[in-house]
Chains A and B, each alone.
Chain A
Amino acid sequence: STIVLLFEAPRDFTFNLKPGQKIRFGEALGTM
């Protein structure tokens, strides 16, 4: 199964992720 987040945010929103990385619930996805 898959979860897709779609949201608007100010232009300076940045993800601190890498494609393919494992992630766990509660860990940061990104911030302004």
Chain B
Amino acid sequence: LNGALLARVRPLPILLATGGGYVGYDQYGRYRDRRLESLGIEVPPRIASNTQVALYKTIPTRVLSRAWGRLNQVELPTWLRKPVYSLYIWTFGVNMKEAAVEDLHHYRNLSEFFRRKLKPQARPVCDSHCVISPADGKILHFGRVRNCEVEQVKGVTYSLETFLGPHTWAETLGLNKNEDDLTSFQDLLVTKEGNELFHCVVYLAPGDYHCFHSPTDWRVAHRRHFPGSLMSVNPGVARWIKELFCHNERVVLSGEWTHGFFSLTAVGATNVGSIRIYFDKELRTNAPRYSKGSYNDFSYLSNNNQEGVAMRKGEHLGEFNLG
């Protein structure tokens, strides 16, 4: 027994020493980067290696996410609702004065609380601008798309084509372009002469209102659902893992607005693995089984509806759900 105990104990200090050494080295590097940045020296973001990303992807985030979702479906006894939701409100800085229903006893479980709606007057829709924010959150990045690469945060990019998938939905939009004389995937998307491609990334923190709305007047013609990982998408991880948004489960809605191509993509994360689009009853996200790299398409154009789903600026479009 003694020998077995000794054998078991010996790896422990080795693991602790190597793990501690690695974390120490990593933290020192981050400290040094912060020092350089404070001196005004631009430091390239520290990108995770393929090994680190592969290690991260071995974490069963989808299973954890579904378990988290099931846990939050459990109906709380009335007396427990106020303390549990008050802790959540305090932790994430939720402003219940804006909620359509302020009485915490109304919400049977955390999942319902997470899907709370706001009072209509809590978010006036800006009339003077053609594009509004679809949700509450933090602007991670925005700007022009160049060379088919989109920045998830400054300096960390992902491939436009990997993110949206092949440009096959154009047939449904009747946007066929003579592909052989085009220089890039990005050119396929821009349908009008003199236009450019723009992007904006909005990060929703756990305490934010998690419904999303139409950012402009447009018609949605096509949905592409990419099952995938559910890694965290918080800004720190977005700075660390290149192509993060291409790894994660996401739903791409594409269509047209007054100036041509328009798309909105909802990207899931560990705690919010499920995405709902109110007008799309067929969509099922965060399912137990899926094949890597797969995606499934759905067209909203039909014989008697060549227009797709017309969405007004500010209209309810969908929501993220726990699990």
Contact = CB atoms under 8 A, between A and B. Distances in A.
Contacts of A30: 129-131, 142, 198, 200
Size band of the interface chain A makes with B: 20 to 34
B194 A23 contact: no
A17 B195 CA distance: 20
A20 B138 contact: yes
Contact of A6 (B265, B314, B320): B265
B191 interface: yes
Contacts of B215: 5, 29
Interface residues of B, number: 68
A4 B267 CA distance: 8
A2 B140 contact: yes
Contacts of B150: 4, 6
Contact of A5 (B134, B160, B209, B314): B134
A11 B259 CA distance: 11
B131 A31 contact: yes
B164 interface: yes
A9 to B, nearest CB: 5
A27 B143 CA distance: 17
A31 B42 CA distance: 30
Interface of B: 123-126, 128-143, 145, 150, 153-154, 160, 163-164, 189-192, 194-204, 209-213, 215-216, 233, 238, 245, 257, 259-269, 272, 275, 314, 320
